[in-house]
Every structure is written in structure tokens, then in C-alpha cells.
Structure 1
Amino acid sequence: MKKTLLLIFLAFLFSSCEEFQTRKISSEEILVEETRDFNWHEVDQYPAFAECRNISEVEAAKTCFGNKVSQYFFSRLEAKQPVVTSEIDDTLYLYLKISEKGIPAIDSMEIDSLVLEQLPDIRTWLVQSVDSLPKIYPATKRGIPVKTTFRMPVVIKAE
């Protein structure tokens, strides 16, 4: 009886050890799983000026940044007071790139030929406006600064 009980105990002991084995996961498997679930088109924190930096909600921070950039561009372009020969009511698009160091630059512009005809210096004015933006804190993804690009509409109205 003791031998039978000892045999059953040993059989149970050896078979149950397999249940306690842990499976090793390689770093490549972890990387593949992380990148599959990773959204590369969104950031955790948008670029921000000092006034917008303490806003924790993503959409509110994005709105604050966009509004501050728009206000700044409006004030810079309004100060130019260009003279036009015909009325302009158009929207141009500016692709604003913010580097991982917070440095703004114009990636590209979509400007209608009629606007360029009436305001030949508009490109220069936009570049000057971007170059003189106040300090920008870069966007972050998982705590790491990343570069971002924004498509910004600029409404041009002149009479």
C-alpha cells in the first residue's frame, strides 16, 4: 500500500511539474505585438506653447495649440496691410512641421495662383511668421518627443 501510494505520489509530482513551466517570450515577439497595437498616427501629447502645456485632455490641447498658431499668424499677416487690386476671399493650406526639438518649419504650402498674383510676398510673410513663433514644446509619444505635421487652413480676405 505504501509503495502504491508512493508511486502515485511520484507520478503526480512529475506530471504536475510541467504545469509550472513558464514560456519564455523573446524581445522580437514583444516588439511585434507592441507595434501591431501601436497607433502611429496619433500622439499622446500635442505640441504646445507655454500657455497650453498644462492641458491634459488631448483634444483640448490640440485646439489650444491650433488657436494660438492661428492667432499668431493672423496678427503677423494683419500687420503687413498689403494693397490688392481685386477682392480676395480664399483659403490657403499651410503644412506646418514641428520637429522633435520643437522647431517649427513650413513643410509645404497650397496657394491658389490668384492669391499669389495679388499677394506675391505671401510665401515670405508666412515663412517669417513661422520663424518668429514663440517656443514650442514638441509632441510626445510614450514620453518620447516626436515630429508632427499639421495641415492648417489660412483664410485670406482682402477688399
Structure 2
Amino acid sequence: MKKILLIICLLAFTSCDYFEKRKISSEEILSEETRELNWHEVDQYPAFEECRNVMESKAAKACFGNKVASYFYARLEAKQPVVTEALDDTLYLYLRISEKGIPAIDSMEVDSLIVQQLPEIRTWLGQSVDSLPKIYPATKRGIPVITTFKMPVVIKAE
């Protein structure tokens, strides 16, 4: 009987390790969350006042892009540039929106023909960006983040 009691006690003491719970530190949780997040997408795109109530991701992005494009085209059209030969080309503007909602041109891909015909195009686009209305920044998990958009700007002149 004592042998059976001794064996049961030994089994009880050695099997307690199976019930021990592993504690996970907050650093481990943060590290795991960071690995799982898709850092190339935001939860909410930057928005102008009239686009803030659009909740669906693609529609919100389209609303923002369309508003920026229409604003740029209106500003460029007001300049009434004069060209010596017809233009039908696209330049690419990399528009950066800071975590505070401040727009800036990150870079531009401009064909040399456009620059030759419209030497002030960079200045005009810079002025257009500087005068954009208030922008609410993009968010990721409720935190404002920096975003960059590649925006095509079609230049047609005759």
C-alpha cells in the first residue's frame, strides 16, 4: 500500500508541470501583432470633408483620388498654358499625406517633352498641392499614419 501511495505522490509531483501556464509578455504580443499587420494598407484612407462619411475602402480611396485630380485639373486649367506643339502625355505625381494631413509632393515622373513645353509644370503642381483644402490623414488601427499615392496627371494641350 505504501508503494502505491509513493508512486501516486511521485506522479502527482511530476505531472504538475503539465498544468503550468506560460506567461506571454506584452513585447511578445506586440511583436506577433506587428508581424501579422499588413503595413501596405490602411484602415481608413485620407479624406477631404466631403469624403469622410464614405466607409468602404475602395470607394473612400476613389473619392479622395477624384477630388485631388479634379482640384489639380481646375488649377492647371486656370493657368491657361501656351504650347508650341500638341501634348498628350501622362506624368506621375507621388503625393504624400503626413500623419497630420499635410500634403506634399514626394516626387514626380515627368517626360522631358512636357517639361520642355511647360517649364513651370512642377511649380504649378506644387502650388496646387499647397492650396489643397483640409485633409484628414489616413489611419491604421485608429492612429494617423503617413501615406503616399501615385497619381497620374494627364496632360493634353493643342
Taking structure 2 as the reference length, the TM-score comes to: 0.90
For residues 105-145 of structure 1, the C-alpha deviation after alignment (integer angstroms, 9 at most, x for no partner) is 00111111111111111111100000000000000001000
Q: How much does 1:17 deviate?
A: 4.7
Alignment match, 1:74: 73
Moved over 6 A (4+): 3-13
Alignment match, 1:21: 20
The letter of the residue matching 1:97 is: R
Alignment match, 2:135: 136
RMSD in angstroms over aligned alpha carbons?
Answer: 1.9
Q: How much does 1:56 deviate?
A: 1.1
Alignment match, 1:48: 47
Quick one: distance in 2 between partners of 1:58 and 1:152?
A: 17
Alignment match, 2:88: 89
Partner secondary structure for residue 23 of structure 1: coil
The letter of the residue matching 1:84 is: V
Quick one: distance in 2 between partners of 1:86 and 1:131?
A: 29
Between stretches 85-94 and 9-18, larger displacement belongs to 9-18
Structure 1 spans left out of the alignment, 5+ residues: none
Quick one: distance in 2 between partners of 1:47 and 1:123?
A: 23
For residues 56-103 of structure 1, the C-alpha deviation after alignment (integer angstroms, 9 at most, x for no partner) is 111110010001001101111111111111000000010100000000
The letter of the residue matching 1:139 is: A
Alignment match, 1:33: 32
**How many residues are matched?**
158
Quick one: distance in 1 between partners of 2:124 and 2:58?
A: 29
Quick one: distance in 2 between partners of 1:56 and 1:90?
A: 33
Alignment match, 2:152: 153
Alignment match, 2:124: 125
Quick one: distance in 2 between partners of 1:90 and 1:60?
A: 27
Partner secondary structure for residue 38 of structure 2: coil
Between stretches 18-27 and 117-126, larger displacement belongs to 18-27
Quick one: distance in 1 between partners of 2:3 and 2:112?
A: 96
